[in-house]
Structure 1
Amino acid sequence: MPQKDIRVRIFNSEYNLQGEDTEKVERVSDYVDGIMNRINSESPNQSEETIAVVSALNIAEEYFREKENRSELEKDYSNFLDESYLKVKSLTDHINGIL
């Protein structure tokens, strides 16, 4: 897919970005804009640089939390598959023993 030029607005500044998926770039930009505006409303006397750094830290914290949750879900899923395999094998062995 070719790169498209995409113009977005984040925290009252315009940016020219490139991406393959315009909708996704706009969604991500809107998300970052929302975080920055929330931080600004909670701490209105902070500089734009501070708001950007605090926003980045908030987004990074969310990312690592979701990454950890995903890892736990993958482990649970793997355990479930292992247990299911053992049950199916046990039932198959039992059926083969009857036949």
Structure 2
Amino acid sequence: MDKTKSKKVNVEIFGDTYPFRTDGDPQELKKLAAFVDKYMQRAAKRTRSLDTRKIAVLSALELADEYFRLKKDYDELVELLEDK
């Protein structure tokens, strides 16, 4: 990554601020952070846990589950289109 072109962006996830550098659009990184924060907030409400690591792991599992379901749907659609 070329540091002269990268932009420094601070994002907040679950009450903690993380500094990043990005070559892309800083707003996109902020959207991603907000998305992750939303999952962590939901996991925290469901588990009523104060353990940030546990909340992060539960959020990661939920995101992975969603990703795999969407990937399966996508693969099935691609297969249908290829059969035509």
Instruction: Give the corresponding residue for 2:14.
Output: 11
Which of residues 45, 49, 62 in structure 1 aligns to 2:53? Answer: 49
Of the two, which has the highest radius of gyration?
Answer: 1
Return the offset for 1:7.
0.6
Count of residues in correspondence between the two structures: 80
Normalising by structure 1, we get a TM-score of: 0.74
- How far does the alpha carbon of each residue in 1:9-61 deviate from its partner, in whole angstroms, 9 at most, with x for none? 00000000122121211111000000000011111134111000000111111
The whole-number CA distance in structure 2 between the counterparts of 1:70 and 1:39 is 26
Report if aligned partners of 2:49, 2:55 keep a CA contact under 8 Å in 1: no
**Percent pairwise identity:** 30
Question: Which runs of 5 or more structure 2 residues have no equivalent in the other structure?
Answer: none
State the structure with bigger RCO (CA 8 A, min sep 6), 1 or 2: 2
Q: Secondary structure at the match of 1:45?
A: coil
Normalising by structure 2, we get a TM-score of: 0.86
Segments of 4+ in structure 1 off by > 4 A? none
Superposition CA RMSD, Å = 1.5
Question: Which runs of 5 or more structure 1 residues have no equivalent in the other structure?
Answer: 81-99
Structure (1/2) with the larger helix percentage: 1
